[in-house]
Structure 1
């Protein structure tokens, strides 16, 4: 009679693999490495799946067309834009009704700092660069759609807009402190 082997090594990591194997139809996803929320040791990472369908920065990073500093600079710009924006606001039913007149909420310090950073970004990028960054990062337009809005529809213009957008991302990374002048000049030399 054969004896059972007791020296088997068990791979418990395969048991707890929580990655999704099935994605919806026409989904665009990319694997990203994030901090493990269930980790016992600080700094432990896991691989997660993120949708890049309506995220131009995520798509560019997933296809290795931009680097991490450019990605973080673009995210910082989006974050400042969301903080500074004071769009339409819903009526608050808990407030006392006074002839339909609403008092304006005061501008917070966070909003003021975000507006100051956005003003600096616009000065650094120039009018055309700021408009291009706004179209891509806030409105989510593609280079083809940007060309259509500006009445130029050739591939050469699309390539120009893409190159100019990467230059603007370099400048954003520099403004927000995710890159240095030396790192940007080395990256330009490699191209």
Structure 2
């Protein structure tokens, strides 16, 4: 007769491993270090995986094609765009039905400041640069898709759009204060 397996006694001092080991077959992820939400000490950090599937900025950052200032500048642009965007609103069936039109929600101070920053960014980048940044960061297009939309084919155009996008990210880092002007 086989021996019964004994369980080890519970030790509250032992740290639990919270790493996920299961990924989908077609997962496109990269490790990133973030603040530990369950950490006991302030400043505790853990390594987690972020999805790169629909995140061109995250993909460039994880492949070390852009630096931290460019990445933070791009994220700030995306954040301002989300704050400033006022798209169509869904109908709330839980609210009481009322005849007539609906009052628009007032513009918040955060939205107003985001629009002002976006206007400054558009002046800094110019028409072509702001269109390129919008296509990549907001619409999530790749350089191949951008060149196809503009009817420009070939590796030289892909390299041009990639180089121009990095220049725009440099300018975003300057505008949002993540970098300083080079002398």
Q: Do both share a fold (TM > 0.5)?
A: yes
How far off its partner does 1:95 sit? 5.0
For residues 8-19 of structure 1, the aligned pairs below 5 Å read 16-19=16-19
The equivalent of 1:98 in structure 2 is: 99
Partner of 2:131: 131
Question: Any stretches of 5+ residues in structure 1 without a counterpart?
Answer: 1-11, 186-191
**1:96 CA displacement:** 4.8
Alignment of 1:99-178 (within 5 A): 99=100, 101-178=101-178
Query: Is the CA contact (8 Å cut-off) linking 1:122 and 1:130 kept in structure 2?
Result: yes
Residues 156-191 of structure 1, C-alpha deviations (whole Å, 9 max, x = no match): 101100000000001101100111113xx6xxxxxx
Q: Deviations over 1:103-147 (max 9, x none)?
A: 211111111110000000000000000000000000000000000
Aligned length: 170
Cross-structure match for 1:52: 52
DSSP 3-state at the match of 1:18 = coil
Give the root-mean-square deviation of aligned CA atoms.
1.5
Counterpart secondary structure, 1:181: coil
Partner of 1:65: 65
Deviation above 3 Å: which 4+ runs of structure 1?
A: none
Q: 1:48 is paired with a residue of what secondary structure?
A: strand
Distance 1:95 1:110, change over 3 A: farther
Does structure 2 retain, via aligned residues, the 8 Å contact 1:19–1:49? no
Q: Distance in 2 between matches of 1:166 and 1:111?
A: 27
Match of 1:87 in 2: 87
Indicate the residue corresponding to 1:78 in structure 2.
78
**Cα offset, 1:98, TM superposition:** 2.0
Deviations 1:70-99 (A, max 9, x none): 100000000000000011111234255123
Q: Secondary structure at the match of 1:50?
A: strand
Moved more, 85-94 or 104-113: 85-94
Q: Is the 8 A contact 1:125 1:171 kept in 2?
A: yes
